[in-house]
Amino acid sequence: MKKVLVSIKNGLLSEAVVRALKGSGEFEPNLIAPEIYANGLDAYEMTDADIWLMEVSYNPGTTVNARLDEIRKVRSSNSGCKVVFLCDDNAAPDLARKVTQLKKDHVIDAFFYTSVTGSYLVSSLASL
């Protein structure tokens, strides 16, 4: 069973993602509570996740630069963790373009738009 660290501040979205991951029987999701962790690195070290699913937005702590800082730190300690970004391409098309470029540049392992279905997200994460 793959361990997935879910770092999504949007409460409804994070609940839906965790429910989809648990329901598949293939994942052990761990949700970072935004009010508890100053950054996700503490949670990552506690869970030793196989996949880190991160929301990217304009909100503090979820900006592209903030997430890139976390990636650098994780990759320096564990290159086996797959990093996946989740962004809203309708609300923030410029962020979606940046995220797409990061995938092309092999900075992240995958990305999804928030409009993705739960079953597609689960199937794609299972293939990583």
Instruction: Give me the residue spans of the domains in the chain.
Output: 2-122
Report CA torsion sign: 91, 4, 23, 32: negative
> Per residue in 73-111, pLDDT tens?
888 876 688 999 999 999 999 999 999 999 999 999 999
User: Tell me, what's the pLDDT at 78?
Assistant: 63
Percentage of residues of the chain with pLDDT beyond 70: 87
- DSSP tag of 57: S
CATH number of this structure's domain 2-122: 3.40.50.2300
- Hunting for tokens 């503090």 — which residue is that? 60
Q: What is the pLDDT of residue 26?
A: 94
Looking at residue 35, its pLDDT comes to: 61
pTM of the model: 0.89
Which range scores top for mean pLDDT: 30-34, 44-48, 110-114? 110-114
32: left (phi > 0), else alpha (psi -120 to 50), else beta?
A: beta
